[in-house]
Structure 1
């Protein structure tokens, strides 16, 4: 497979060229105008952010992409699927309210917002992938029924996959609640007893009531109830709840790649990573920590795997922000920043599996604008 081109623009501006102008120039230079949008439904897959978290992509960027698509004759809508865990986005009504609260509404972005898997997360299409783990993928109906897929991805750390970018947003983000359960179920966490401080944050955050304190006031997981969503790993401030990085966790990353493949299979697709506010954890939580590196820029490609690989390389070449979690964890120059933040993860697994599935390559050429 030939190298994929990943186009990149930094965040420097000047009079007459603001960041929205630079975004439009970036996507057009990458080739978005080569897609036939005329009278086609265009799903713009985005994460609306959990209220309280301020690291998500600004609605202004979404509005610019919406306008570009409209100008090309497309019928765009912003979309995401409901979450598996408890929170403000686990059903369509609360999800829409959260999106509006964070600035995503028809007035601000110029198009409608559709929660892809319906009111309770049960509306999906089975898309055949015949993958290593999944024969079919349960993709939210609105995304599955769209003619064209555009992903707008906040590139940041992630407690289960190391980082979240195009593959994570496409795969996990487009799966119905049942699909998310299928992807998460291979990566049940563990409790490292000596680190547990009996704070009960994991108990309070568990949507399945699978965690309780034992007779020694140590968190304990009932694996007959655990769905492997990783919520306890994210909220634990003492590294007591940990992902078990073994064959089953590799499987979770590979399943995400198979779901991402299902989303874009036989469809025109285009992807944008915003390497801005690179927080250490997912935007699914109602707070965001200090970014681990300074803002870097925006990258775009027709290849989501090359895009993610280029983005992680840019982050690893960037200086750390003093006072961030990397300082707390005594980061050493030259090591992978995401694996350092989440030491039990390995982001390469998913990208390599995606390459094996044939919908992208790790080999890329970075074109700086």
Structure 2
């Protein structure tokens, strides 16, 4: 087992160096500009724009640091994320772009454009072969797969299903199209809430497999015919179609690792995680609770597995913030994330990613 290098800097500043300058120095010393040829290459910076209402998401200023560095090397860079499976303000590209702009992710603030990776309705994807335990063909947003280089910029925080949201989840879940997210989150198919359905037939017209019919003025999905593409979720004007989110958390974590492999295999990639505003829940929430631990710092590595583990280890060394969700939990697991969400085990994704050859559990932490 090889030992990966993970670079780290804290959140302290001086009169001569602010946080953005520290991030630039961190990325340079980690070797991103030296080891990746960005010249005239399409470079996707994968991040989470934040569900409007949530204020724990990463400020767009951080992304501009990476954009400016990549552009200085001749890279053709864009920010990207894929549409959501859940019903919210990021379930189609138009609302998603509005949300990104509202949260500050616009060309004026970041220096580059935003491209929603899986298109207008979350159905513009590519089937990517992957030799996984659960996944054989990952459904990845087309714009993500069209990129020559992948850079992940991750807000490291808790997550109610995965334990925490780190680089693997940012890449694996985040780059999945709606059908991909359906595959990761569900062991079943979408369902219709008859109370919300108005029988407009939009889902019937959009279904490419003939799985949806109108019965007594309400849509009905034949799960034996349904392919799980999720097109109906993005089409319904009443948000009456939703996924079940019924996959076991351990299997979800393994699928996330397998999707991350599909995204990263065969092309250059680099990863940055900011362990700040470590909220207990995902940035997909339209709200955020107070952080569970103090701000830790910024981490960077070519190895997303080692990076996630280094961030988790750093969080677990921190004191619990009084009054946070974590402070009210029963601390019986010896782990801040599992104590916050006892039904999760984030180590499953790490172990599975190592098994897949995505990275190393052994790392050297280098302070810059």
Residue in 1 aligned with 2:143? 142
What does the per-residue CA deviation read over 1:305-361, in whole Å, with 9 as the maximum and x for residues that have no partner? 0000000000000011000011111436x8100000100000011111111110101
**In 2, Cα distance between the equivalents of 1:208 and 1:36?**
48
What is the CA-CA distance between 1:68 and the residue it aligns to?
0.4
Q: How many residues align?
A: 325
- SS of match in other structure, 2:279: coil
| 1:208 to partner: Cα distance | 5.1
Following superposition, the deviation at residue 16 of structure 1 comes to 1.4
Distance 1:355 1:22, change over 3 A: same
In the other structure, the counterpart of 2:45 is 44
**Cα shift at 1:187:** 9.2
Supply the distance in 1 between the matched residues of 2:195 and 2:343 (Cα, whole angstroms): 20
Cα distance, 1:142–1:16 mapped onto 2, change above 3 Å: same
Q: How does 1:235-274 map onto structure 2 within 5 Å? A: 248-274=248-274
* Equivalent residue runs for 1:209-224 within 5 Å: 209=193
Change over 3 Å in CA distance of 1:71–1:208 after alignment to 2: farther
| Secondary structure at 1:324 match in 2 | coil
1:345 aligns with 2:329: no
Q: Distance in 1 between matches of 2:66 and 2:193?
A: 40
Mapped pair 1:162 → 2:163:
yes
User: Where does residue 291 of structure 1 map in the other structure?
Assistant: 291
Once the two structures are superposed, the pairs formed by residues 316-335 of structure 1 within 5 Å of their partners are 316-331=316-331, 335=334
Q: Give the match for residue 336 of structure 1.
A: 335
Which position in structure 1 is the counterpart of 2:17? Answer: 17
Q: Structure 1 residues 211 and 361, CA, compared in 2 at 3 Å: closer, same or farther?
A: farther
- Describe how 1:74-89 pairs up with structure 2 within 5 A: 74-89=75-90
| Partner deviation per Cα, 1:96-145 (whole Å, 9 max, x = no partner) | 00000000001100001000000000001111112111111110001011
- Aligned-pair CA distance for 1:362: 1.1
The CA deviation at 1:211 is 11
Gaps of 5+ in 1: 189-205, 213-223, 230-242
Q: SS of the counterpart of 1:104? A: coil
CA distance in 2, matches of 1:32, 1:301: 9
2:182 counterpart residue number: 181
Q: What stretches of structure 1 move > 2 A for 4+ residues in a row?
A: 206-212
The aligned residue for residue 6 of structure 1 is 6
Asked if structure 1 preserves the Cα contact closer than 8 Å seen for 2:187 and 2:246, the reply is no
For residues 253 and 368 of structure 1, what CA distance do their matches in structure 2 show? 29
Q: Assess, with a 3 A threshold, how the Cα gap between structure 1 residues 302 and 285 changes in structure 2: closer, same or farther.
A: same
Change over 3 Å in CA distance of 1:342–1:73 after alignment to 2: same
Secondary structure of the 1:267 match is: coil
RMSD of aligned residue pairs (Cα, Å)? 2.4
Q: 2:195 & 2:8 partners in 1: Cα distance?
A: 44
Pairing 1:99–2:100 present: yes
Q: TM-score, normalised by structure 2?
A: 0.84
The DSSP-based 3-state class of the residue aligned with 1:364 is strand
* Aligned residues of 1:51 and 1:98 also touching (Cα < 8 A): yes
> Which residue in 2 is equivalent to 1:356?
355
What is the distance in 1 between the residues matched to 2:148 and 2:194? 40
Aligned residue number for residue 129 of structure 2: 128
TM-score by length of 1: 0.84
